[in-house]
Amino acid sequence: MAYSSINPSDGTILKTFEELTDRELETKLAVAATCFAAWRLKTYAERGVIVARAAALMREQAEALARTMTLEMGKRISEARGEVGFSADILDYYARNAERFLAPQKLHPAIGEAHMESSPIGVIFGVEPWNFPYYQLARVAGPHLMAGNVLMVKHAACVPQCAIAFEALWTEAGAPPGLYTNLLISHEQSDTVIDDPRIKGVALTGSVPAGRSIAARAGRNLKPSSMELGGSDAFIVLEDADLDHTVPWAVWGRMYNAGQTCCAAKRFIVVEPLADAFLERFGAALRVLKAGDPLDEATTLGPLSSEPALLQLLDQVGRAVSEGARLVMGGRRIDRPGCYMEPTILTGVEPTNPAFRDEFFGPVAMVFRVKDEDAAIALANDSDFGLGGSVFTRDIARGKRVASRVETGMMFVNNISWSDAELPFGGIKDSGFGRELGDMGIQEFVNKKLVRYTDVSAPA
Whether 35 is catalytic: no
Whether 228 is catalytic: yes
Catalytic residue among 162, 262, 263, 339: 262
Tell which residue, 256, 276, 280, 283, has the closest CA to residue 363. Answer: 256
Q: SS3 letters for the chain?
A: CCEEEECCCCCCEEEEECCCCHHHHHHHHHHHHHHHHHHCCCCHHHHHHHHHHHHHHHHHCHHHHHHHHHHHHCCCHHHHHHHHHHHHHHHHHHHHHHHHHCCCEEECCCCCEEEEEEEECCEEEEECCCCCCCHHHHHHHHHHHHCCCEEEEECCCCCHHHHHHHHHHHHHCCCCCCCEEECCCCHHHHHHHHHCCCEEEEEEECCHHHHHHHHHHHHHCCCCEEEECCCCEEEEECCCCCHHHHHHHHHHHHHHHHHCCCCCEEEEEEEHHHHHHHHHHHHHHHHCCCECCCCCCCCCECCCCCHHHHHHHHHHHHHHHHCCCEEEECCCECCCCCCCECCEEEECCCCCCHHHHCCCCCCEEEEEEECCHHHHHHHHHCCCEECCEEEECCCHHHHHHHHHHCCCCCCEECCCCCCCCCCCECCEECCEECCECHHHHCCCCEEEEEEEECCCCCCC
Residue 406 one-letter amino acid: V
Q: Work out the angle at residue 390's Cα, subtended by the Cα atoms of residues 389 and 392, and round it to the nearest 5 degrees.
A: 160
| HSE-up of residue 229 (Cα within 13 Å, Cβ side) | 23
Catalytic residue among 83, 128, 167, 228: 228
| Main-chain phi, psi angles of 16, to 5 degrees | -125, 160
Tell which residue, 278, 290, 258, 292, has the closest CA to residue 328. Answer: 278
| Main-chain phi, psi angles of 187, to 5 degrees | -65, -40
- Give dist(CA 214, CA 152) in Å, integer: 15
Enumerate the active-site residues.
Answer: 228, 262
